[in-house]
Amino acid sequence: MRIVDLRSDTVTRPTLKMRQAMKDAEVGDDGFGDDPTTNRFEKMAADCVGKEDALFVPSGTMGNLIAIMVHAKPGEGLICDKFAHINTLVAGNTAALTGTTICPLDVDESGHFDLNELESSINLDSIHFPRTSLILLENSNNLAGGTVVTPEETSKISRIAKRHNLRFHLDGARVFNSAIAQGVGVVELTGDCDSVMFCLSKGLASPVGSIIAGTKAFIKEARRFRKMLGGIMRQTGILAACGIISLEEMINRLSEDHDNARYLAKGIEGIDGFRINLKTVQTNIICFKFELPKLSCKEFVDNVTKKGVYVVHLFKDSGRMVTHKDLSKSDIDYALEVLRDSISEK
């Protein structure tokens, strides 16, 4: 059976060049700081996003968690949007492991803050509410449909944070998608942030890992919290070797994924039962609503999965599809054929 896996860009397989680099990687013990390939990669990653230093971590979820632990004390509050990954898809780890309180804000359909509301929600004085210490921005915004935040909006949020002496962290799991989609350098999206996390194992196609980056002082503290969370690995050069290739070769090709996502979204738009906002299809993610009188979204997703087209069912009447390097235009055409046939059968 032909498989078209649209669940996530995390399903990408490492390239043949990555597999060879893993085999040939010079390694040491990263717990002691002497893995040469990892050290080289961390320097490259810091330079890439315009920061002083960087740290390789097992996952983006851990990377964001570490950043929160560095920037905020237990009992303090952090502001993010209601769609944010840390507010929706991390099994409550922020509350369980950091002692901080998430203060999620409503955003528009594209996941953008009302900046006046953002600033007015900051609490520094009231003894009745968590004292705000951190603003977190996700770019691109996964559950808003992969929408992008511009350099101008990022700078405005940064200025709000600075006015109130707050830290500003960027969940940039797919920040390179955002940069490519806007035709800007990634530093234009990361430079105004105190810290940034980006994933290697999504569109950049590495098998494992993420980067957090910031000042040398931030990374020094981040190393301590990585240890606390059990995130130290040893001969990480085997993985960092893939990360080097991700940064050198996999960023510019992300535009192909964006083209495929728009092609898929336009095809979906004409299928009975689907509701989709094409304006939000800005990178490689498609979030959709689905509802027919005799077919629920979950039933539909289960049906097409049995036919080899893998889609994520998110909530009651909604789902998500994500394009990536292991999908061709032919795969998208096949997926659309299966989606249409599954509707016609009902």
pLDDT band at 343 (very low <50, low <70, confident <90, very high): confident
d(CA 271, CA 337): 10
- On whether both 242 and 274 belong to a single domain, the answer is no
| The last residue of a domain, from among 249, 280, 312 | 249
**Cα–Cα distance list, 197 to 105, 121, 123, 240, 243 (Å):** 21, 24, 25, 16, 14
Rounded Cα distance between 104 and 95, Å, is: 13
**Whether 207 and 150 share a structural domain:** yes
Distance CA 9, CA 285 (A): 9
- Considering the domain architecture, whether residues 175 and 96 belong to the same structural domain is answered as yes
Hey, what's the torsion of the CAs at 5, 265, 170, 113, to 10 degrees?
-140
Are 330 and 307 in a shared domain?
yes
Pick the closest to residue 134 from 192, 67, 198 (CA basis).
67
* Residues 232-269 pLDDT 10s: 999 999 999 999 999 999 999 999 999 999 999 999 99
Q: What is the pLDDT of residue 204?
A: 98
Q: Which two tokens stand for residue 130?
A: 């968590």
Instruction: Assess whether 232 and 273 both reside in one domain.
Output: no
| 183 shares a domain with 62 | yes
Q: What is the CATH number for 108? A: 3.40.640.10
Same domain, 81 and 39: yes
pLDDT at 161 over 90: yes
Q: What average pLDDT does range 123-150 have in this prediction?
A: 97
Domain that holds residue 185: 14-249
Q: DSSP state, 13? A: P
pLDDT digits (tens, 9 = 90+) for 278-318: 999 999 999 999 988 889 999 999 999 999 999 999 989 99
* φ/ψ (deg, to 5) at 306: -65, -25
Query: Structural domain tally of the chain?
Result: 2
129 DSSP 8-state letter: S
Listed residues 249, 275, 302: the one ending a domain: 249
Cβ atoms of 42 and 53 closer than 8 Å: yes
Of the residues 212, 228, 249, which one is the last residue of a structural domain? 249
Q: Which of 153, 171, 192 is nearest to 84 (CA)?
A: 171
Residues 261 and 338 in one domain: yes
Cα-only R_g, the chain: 20
Q: What is the pLDDT of residues 5-37, one digit of tens each?
A: 999 999 999 999 999 999 999 999 999 999 999
Residues 260 and 240 in one domain: no
| CATH code where residue 286 lies | 3.90.1150.10
Please check whether residues 194 and 94 belong to one and the same domain: yes
Which pLDDT belongs to residue 175? Answer: 98
The two structure tokens encoding residue 238: 């085997």
Average pLDDT taken over every residue of the chain:
97
3-state secondary structure 209-260: CEEEEECHHHHHHHHHHHHHCCCCCCCCHHHHHHHHHHHHHCCCCHHHHHHH
Encode pLDDT of 37-63 as tens digits.
999 999 999 999 999 999 999 999 999
- Is residue 346's pLDDT more than 70? no
Clarify whether residues 281 and 217 are in a common domain.
no
